[in-house]
Amino acid sequence: MKILVISNKSPYPPREGGPIAMNMVVEGLISEGHQVKVLAVNSFKYNIGPDDIPEAYRLKTGIELIDVDLRIKPLAAFLNLFTGRSYHVERFISSNFRKRLVEVLKAEPFDIVQMETIFVAPYLKTVRANSDAKVVLRAHNIEYLIWHRVAEGIQNPVKRLYMRHLADTLKRYELSMLPRFDGIAAITEKDAEYFSGQLAVGSGQWAVGSGQLAAIPFGIDLDNFPPPVPSEEPVSLFSIGAMNWIPNAEGVRWFLHHVWPEVHKEFPSLKYYLAGREMPDWMLRMSFPNVEVLGEVDDAREFIDTHGIMIVPLLSGSGIRIKIIEGMAAGKAIISTMIGAEGIDCTNGKNILVANAPCEFIDMISLCLGDMERCAKLGQAARRLVETTYDRRLIIQKLISFYKQLTG
């Protein structure tokens, strides 16, 4: 098959969750003998320079990056209050991107056009007008749900009201666009069931597994994740993630203020390491005892391998946490909120520990530090889950079968 991937950011280099998930599909499809071309938005938020993508990757993907200005413009954001349209989505509309998309579609035929996230859905009409390909939405999240959850955690009433407006307009747009695709590949079973409930009409249309809607999760290339070895600092905590994604920064702030002080009292020598791209100023300036803020690390996998227990204190979000899957592949004991673990086929107490309240986090951390053998077994079970459920080869075969159903 020939597949055009249209994405809201470059899948390479895969430095954060979205690009990692996109690149998994791109490289997985190519490894199975399919032709893939990538057309991606390039913005200030995830800006990729000419030297960031190796020549070999450019050759096998034909990747093209189109600059789109996604900066928030105060006047446009204010006027959007009176339009009823989604400001999240409108920022991605670009005449230059549309022009290049038309040129690509006219230059060669595609069997599948895969749109990564609802944010590039404004280009669906352009694809329909210039191609007979089946168009699939690769839904990384229920996008509006993220913003609804973020809004509920905001104390400032004016800011909370505006955030709810953004979430509501995004929801209307998202739900209006879903039935216009030929297929939807949701990243979790839960998301797929939600989409089915919103779209189902008649008998069987848009049912999960009907041929139009499938749950196809993120997968790990286990060749790049050899069996885990003991970490250099097993008695330590760590978190890693892109900190310009609001749910990540929000969760870390909550953990530092509501959990860490009590943990530090109980375990005064315990260290907590923070790594991730685009650390906000408050995170770089803060001073909590035994908390080390490293910023963006050269090798995320090495950082995960080096440290002990992964902490995922997410209070909002949707979809699947890529870093949890990577932590599981590395054989880590992971303590996560229910929202953080959402969408992963895990079992509390078997291959992950779930904690929501500060006292629960403290209990789970104490449990791990007091029984390192159990902690190790938790990580081993997490690794087995990845091997049986999140192996990239299994995921890509499922995606290919889905595409073959769509194209007949």
Q: Is the pLDDT of residue 371 over 90?
A: yes
CATH 3.20.20.140 applies to domain 226-389: no
CATH topology agreement for domains 2-219+391-407 and 226-389: yes
161 vs 122, higher pLDDT: 122
Helix (H) or strand (E) holding 19: helix 17-31
Domain 2-219+391-407, CATH homologous superfamily name and number = Glycogen Phosphorylase B; (3.40.50.2000)
Residue 203 has pLDDT above 50, yes or no: no
Residue 204 in this model has a pLDDT that exceeds 60: no
Cα(354)–Cα(347) distance, rounded to whole angstroms? 9
Residue 342, classed as helix, strand or coil, is coil
> Mean pLDDT across the stretch 275-283?
91
Could you state, in order of their start, the residue ranges of all structural domains in the chain?
A: 2-219+391-407, 226-389
Q: Which of 221-225, 305-309, 347-351 has the lowest mean pLDDT?
A: 221-225
Q: Using one digit for the tens of pLDDT, what is the confidence trace for 16-39?
A: 889 999 999 999 999 999 999 999
Average confidence score pLDDT of the chain = 92
Tens-digit pLDDT profile for residues 258-276: 999 999 999 999 999 999 9
Tokens representing residue 56 in the block = 């070999």
- Rounded to two decimals, what is the model's pTM? 0.87
pLDDT band for 183, please (50, 70, 90 cuts): very high
pLDDT digit string, tens, across residues 59-102:
999 999 999 999 888 888 888 888 889 999 999 999 999 999 99
pLDDT at 202 over 70: no
Predicted confidence (pLDDT) at residue 201 exceeds the cutoff of 70: no
Letter for the amino acid at 20?
A: I
User: What integer is the mean pLDDT of 218-242?
Assistant: 87
Residue from 28, 16, 17 nearest 5 by CA: 28
**Dist. CA 28–CA 38, nearest whole Å:** 14
323-350 pLDDT, tens digit per residue, is: 999 999 999 999 999 999 998 999 999 9
Render pLDDT for 116-155 as a digit per residue (tens, 0 to 9): 999 999 999 999 999 999 999 999 988 888 888 888 878 8
Backbone φ and ψ for 193, nearest 5 degrees, come out as -65, -40
Mean pLDDT of 275-282: 91
